[in-house]
Structure 1
Amino acid sequence: MDPIRLISFGYLHLPQDQDGRPIPPTADRVEDVRERLRDPAAARDILDFDGFHPRVQDVVLHTPGARELIDNLVSYATLPAGPRGIAIGCAGGL
């Protein structure tokens, strides 16, 4: 199985089309989590860390709906045709 490129992005940091809509990165699947998950950055004690920090991972994994999303993305990633890229976007994160 070939590696899958995971892209994390913030909609507030994207270029916009002529109608002012953000242009998400190119990927086989773009997951917009702005309304699906509560903003983990609301946990003020994690704002200075990146997603590799255990405290950030703990907050995100305990966000309602996060584990279901991860399970769904893993199932999608293991499809026989397999995606080459998955992009996950929140409001302001990178």
Structure 2
Amino acid sequence: MHPIRLTSFGYLHLPTGPDGSPVPPAADRIEDVRARLRDPAAARDILDLDGLNPRVQDVVLNTPGARELLANLADYTDLPAGPSHIAIGCAGGRHRGVDRTTARHAGDERIPRMA
């Protein structure tokens, strides 16, 4: 398996194109989790934490649809002509996207991390 670069980003912090829409980073696959996963910032006591915090990671991983998304991304990385770069974006880039790219879940969920 080849190394895969994972990037987390926040749509609210992206530059905008001529039409005013956000311009996500260039990647083989861009996963917008804003509609797929509920906003963990709405959960109690984690608003001031980021996706590197285990409490945030637990909330995100236990969000309905999170495990299915990870399984889908893992299957995608296993394709013969699989990606070299996956970007995962949420609203602010602080909770959902960061958590999906952490080493804790990258290893546990078979999404490889950069060496």
TM-score between the two structures when normalised by the length of structure 1? 0.92
| Aligned match of 1:71 | 71
Match of residue 13 from structure 1: 13
The residue type equivalent to 1:49 in the other structure is L
Structure 2: distance between partners of 1:32 and 1:59: 18
Q: Within 5 A, what are the aligned runs for 1:30-49?
A: 30-49=30-49
Give the whole-Å Cα distance in 1 for the aligned partners of 2:78 and 2:13.
Answer: 30
The share of aligned pairs that are identical, in percent, is 76
Larger RCO, structures 1/2 (Cα 8 Å, 6+ apart)? 1
Helix, strand or coil: the match of 1:88? strand
> AA paired with 1:11?
Y
CA RMSD of superposed structures (Å):
1.2
Q: CA deviation at 1:93?
A: 1.7
Does the residue aligned with 1:44 lie in a helix, a strand or coil? coil
Per-residue deviation, 1:56 = 1.1
Q: Which amino acid aligns with 2:17?
A: D
Cα separation, 2, equivalents of 1:48 and 1:93: 13
- Cα distance in 1 for partners of 2:2, 2:47 equals 33
Distance in 1, Cα, partners of 2:57 & 2:34: 18
Post-superposition offset of 1:48: 2.9
Structure 1 segments of 4 or more deviating over 6 A?
A: none
